[in-house]
Structure 1
Amino acid sequence: MNQYDVAIIGSGPGGYVAAIRCAQLGMKTAIIEKYATLGGTCLNVGCIPSKALLDSSHHYEDAVKHFEEHGIDIPGEIKVNLEQMIARKQGVVDQTTKGIEFLMDKNKIDVYHGIGSFKDATHINIAKENGEETIEAKNTIIATGSKPSSLPFIKIDKERVITSTEALKLKEIPKHLIVIGGGVIGLELGQVYKRLGADVTVVEFMDRIIPGMDGALSKELTKVMKKQKVKFNLSHKVKSVERKGDEVIVKADDKKGEEVTIKGDYCLVSVGRKPYTDGLKAEAAGVKLDDRGRVEVNEHLQTNVSNIYAIGDVVKGAMLAHKAEEEGTMVAELLAGQKPHIDYNLIPGVVYTWPEVAAVGKTEEQLKEEGVEYKSGQFPMRALGRSRASMDLDGFVKILADKNTDEVLGIHMIGARCADLIAEGVTAMEFRASAEDISRMSHAHPTFAEAVKEAALAATDDRALHV
């Protein structure tokens, strides 16, 4: 029987990063993955493939709508080759997952393909296609991730009523895609198919899209996506989804309680994700799950069984790949006797629509609820020379700072390249910068990042220079 210092169940961003860090710190490490490829949801059917399709569809939209204005004439009709677009996406996925295999090999991590389940607190059974193997691990990290949620009355047939997994490999562009859920995944994939020519209707139970983010971001993204001809049915409670041949009929009650019927040829069910522990046999090791199916952990991500830890989507907190990575690193370093920490308030959130949406820290709603005295500074992207040059005029940067100390409490942005820009906000807040600190930093001109400096100036003394 092979023996290890640490075994990791699940090879998503949390699991594989934990494995690498454990190996770097001198531990004999094994990783167990039930699928043929490493990388988990994120690399195979999540972050990476969705970004590939978002980029491809963005190029197509630019070619159709903006190239002429840029002085680029393309003879003949511009057409979508969906098969090639999906093939390119798969190529990106294959390249990325092979990169993880290389990293496992480079760091001398043993990889087991099969379903990992606890025999007891120190032994893990691995069910493979050709039988079962058992390994012994001094410590185990559960990194089994999450899977798409649904609603109890919806039958996902994976053909017309689909999840994000199927939406990444459709054989045709929908005529009318109904998206149930106005969160990150639904909006991103909705925008992909809208750009390619589908009608898109978003049905959301809450009174706004991206409900967990600052209200100003939600309002601006709604405005921009409406301009892009996406339809929104907000404050709508879906009560039935029925397929009749190639047609999907969604019935929902609006806020007045009146029934609304929406018909389309595809329905993407995007109502969040739930922790995945099927087949783990956590009870065999004595590991407790909470009432939502998550693995219970303390502030060190340790379960009630002292040598077993859990990270990522399978524990409480935001279901984000980069959060899982930080947790994987933290557990590895704790096992090595170090004293790492994570500030969960400074884990950024991003929506990869165009314009991109990104945020870190407290929202305005949270500060009001907590009774914190704050000031706000905002700067529009359209006031930037860089935005005019690239024709990316939508959006703004908003900085929230403590009214008395000027410490930055939250940064919220929507616009071009905000997914990258938010790192400046995370850095500033990690070092407890004031709005004035940011305003006094030199930002290259012309860049989108100048909006951050200007928003900081607006928050400091209401003295933004370019509005």
Structure 2
Amino acid sequence: MSDASSAFDLVVIGSGPGGYVCAIKAAQLGLKVAVVEKRKTYGGTCLNVGCIPSKALLHASEMFEEANHSFAKLGIKVSPELDLPAMLAHKDTTVKQNVDGIAFLFKKNKITGIIGTGRIAAPGAVEVTAEDGSKQTLKTKSICIATGSVVAGIPGLNVAFDGKTIVSSDDAIALPKVPERLVVVGGGVIGLELGSVWQRLGAKVTVVEYLDKILGPTDAEISTQFQKILAKQGMTFHLGAKVTAVESTGSAAKVTFEPAKGGEAQTLEADVVLVATGRKPFTDGLGLDEVGVARDKAGRVEIDAHYKTNVDGIYAIGDVVKGPMLAHKAEDEGVALAEILAGQHGHVNYGVIPSVVYTSPEIASVGLTEEELKAAGTPYNTGKFSFTANGRARAMLHTDGFVKILADKATDKVLGVHIMGFGAGDMIAEAAVLMEFGGSSEDLARTCHAHPTMSEAVREAAFATFAKPIHS
């Protein structure tokens, strides 16, 4: 075992969005930083097998869908043919461009990147094991655990993933052919995004979800209307369904489920079963128990308000700690931790973290849902505006969905914004900025919006919240 020639101010274990952003910000603030990554490329799950490749496939499949069904209405005559290998190649190229970009940023910011498996040997010491088995120890003032999450599987079931007929999201971004029948276990973000990709490419998709609604924590009105849209697109749903078995039959697979509230079991046969029932923190092999780092019942690393664990000099951010498992949440925590370690006052406003479902249409939310406001007994006003009344949406044939704004009844302070529509993931940003500064629905409505744009629907919903919409 050899020691690194010089000590670091910070060693980050994991190079996903939380880890690489923390490293870059810390380096920009003058700290000497190293990053340890067990994959052969940087970027973590998000860039390699998660957010980035899935969005490449979502966009490509949406273009294929539009070419098949919308272009003719726009006066464009085409006869599209699916070239799946080329689509997958586009996905792979996109991934490479992004992971190469992280390597460039490490070099630019003089960050030491080390490929190998990291383990905390002691406070101030990270042991790195390379692929060939060789080891080195990095001495450091601070350690940041940013190891992210892994596929959780189905609680209570030992699912045998084979990567062909029973797959996780890692495999579902690289299926060699379009399955005729795809069963998705889990009606959350990952399942609906990847299910919609293969549905658009020709698969018959059935979603089996334990809860009585898809997208569990999403505002119920949005969830209900979204399910109807997906059903029109061809998806079939079994809600309130408890999966009791997922089995491979050789060249295919089958899923057995029963009503969560009791009843007869059903079995669905499929060419591919995608198990998308969530993710869990990844802490295996980190040496946390040996150095005494505490974790909660869910396996998450316990931290204080400054991302510090119960062990001095060891911190944690991202999917491995409490809060939503979102890349941008991890990024914000990475920036905040870097600032704290540099003697500044890093902070994350957890009440204003947007979430996006990149389906067609997209769903984006920030702040509280109507159900949460009702449960808290908070008096509120609601304003809504449909994209069917938006000129830009009509011009683009993207009229599905609406904007919904929730504001405090007494002060008009915006408490939550929920958008279902084309480009919702981009439109939610203005709501997040408004809420970050404690703005009201009237503030938003009195802000001039360019015409014609989809974002005018956000302004109209704001008018509807404190007064009346103009175009409805």
Q: TM-score range by the shorter chain?
A: over 0.9
Is contact 2:209–2:241 with CA below 8 Å preserved after alignment? yes
Matched, 1:367 2:373: yes
Matched, 1:195 2:197: no
Q: Which residue of 2 aligns with 1:180?
A: 185
Partner Cα distance (1:9, 1:115) in 2: 9
Matched, 1:150 2:153: yes
Matched, 1:248 2:253: yes
The one of 406, 416, 422 aligned to 1:400: 406
Is contact 2:127–2:137 with CA below 8 Å preserved after alignment? yes
Matched, 1:137 2:140: yes
Partner Cα distance (1:206, 1:163) in 2: 20
Partner Cα distance (2:437, 2:302) in 1: 31
Determine what percentage of the aligned residue pairs are the same residue: 49
The one of 203, 206, 209 aligned to 1:204: 209
Partner Cα distance (1:94, 1:242) in 2: 34
Q: How does 1:99-114 map to 2 (within 5 A)?
A: 99-114=101-116
Q: Which residue of 2 aligns with 1:60?
A: 64
The one of 216, 226, 239 aligned to 2:221: 216
Q: Which amino acid aligns with 2:34?
A: A
Over residues 29-48 of structure 1, what are the superposed CA-to-partner deviations in whole Å (9 max), with x where a residue is unaligned?
00000010000000000000
Q: Which residue of 2 aligns with 1:116?
A: 118
Matched, 1:89 2:91: yes
| Offset, 1:256 | 4.4
Over residues 290-313 of structure 1, what are the superposed CA-to-partner deviations in whole Å (9 max), with x where a residue is unaligned?
221111101111100121100000
Higher alpha-carbon deviation: 24-33 or 256-265: 256-265
Runs of 4+ in 1 over 6 A off after TM superposition: none
Q: Which residue of 2 aligns with 1:260?
A: 266
SS in 2 for 1:192: helix
Is contact 2:184–2:205 with CA below 8 Å preserved after alignment? yes
Q: Which residue of 2 aligns with 1:341?
A: 347
Over residues 176-205 of structure 1, what are the superposed CA-to-partner deviations in whole Å (9 max), with x where a residue is unaligned?
100000000000000000000000000000
- 5+ residue gaps, structure 2, are none
Partner Cα distance (1:221, 1:9) in 2: 38
Q: Which residue of 2 aligns with 1:412?
A: 418
Q: Which residue of 1 aligns with 2:321?
A: 315
| Offset, 1:247 | 2.0
SS in 1 for 2:339: helix
Q: Which residue of 1 aligns with 2:305?
A: 299
Q: Which residue of 1 aligns with 2:74?
A: 70
Is contact 1:121–1:286 with CA below 8 Å preserved after alignment? no
Q: Which residue of 2 aligns with 1:233?
A: 238
Is contact 2:445–2:463 with CA below 8 Å preserved after alignment? yes
Is contact 2:38–2:118 with CA below 8 Å preserved after alignment? yes
Matched, 1:350 2:353: no
Is contact 2:181–2:204 with CA below 8 Å preserved after alignment? yes
Q: Which residue of 2 aligns with 1:51?
A: 55
Is contact 2:243–2:257 with CA below 8 Å preserved after alignment? yes
Is contact 2:123–2:312 with CA below 8 Å preserved after alignment? no
Q: Which residue of 1 aligns with 2:21?
A: 17
Matched, 1:166 2:168: no
Partner Cα distance (1:220, 1:363) in 2: 15
Partner Cα distance (1:264, 1:283) in 2: 41
Partner Cα distance (2:191, 2:66) in 1: 22
Over residues 355-387 of structure 1, what are the superposed CA-to-partner deviations in whole Å (9 max), with x where a residue is unaligned?
000000000000001110001000001100001
Higher alpha-carbon deviation: 349-358 or 254-263: 254-263
Partner Cα distance (2:106, 2:444) in 1: 40
| Offset, 1:284 | 2.7
Is contact 1:206–1:235 with CA below 8 Å preserved after alignment? yes
SS in 2 for 1:7: strand
Q: Which amino acid aligns with 2:144?
A: I
Q: Which residue of 2 aligns with 1:34?
A: 38
Is contact 2:338–2:346 with CA below 8 Å preserved after alignment? no
Is contact 1:116–1:280 with CA below 8 Å preserved after alignment? yes
Q: Which amino acid aligns with 1:134?
A: T
- 5+ residue gaps, structure 1, are none
Q: Which amino acid aligns with 2:363?
A: V
Over residues 392-441 of structure 1, what are the superposed CA-to-partner deviations in whole Å (9 max), with x where a residue is unaligned?
01000000000011000000010010000000100000011111111101
Over residues 205-252 of structure 1, what are the superposed CA-to-partner deviations in whole Å (9 max), with x where a residue is unaligned?
000000111101101110110010100101111101111122211111
Matched, 1:269 2:275: yes
Alignment RMSD: 0.8
Q: Which residue of 2 aligns with 1:423?
A: 429
Is contact 2:53–2:92 with CA below 8 Å preserved after alignment? yes
Partner Cα distance (2:437, 2:181) in 1: 47
TM-score for the superposition, normalised by structure 1 = 0.98
Is contact 1:121–1:284 with CA below 8 Å preserved after alignment? no
Q: Which residue of 2 aligns with 1:325?
A: 331
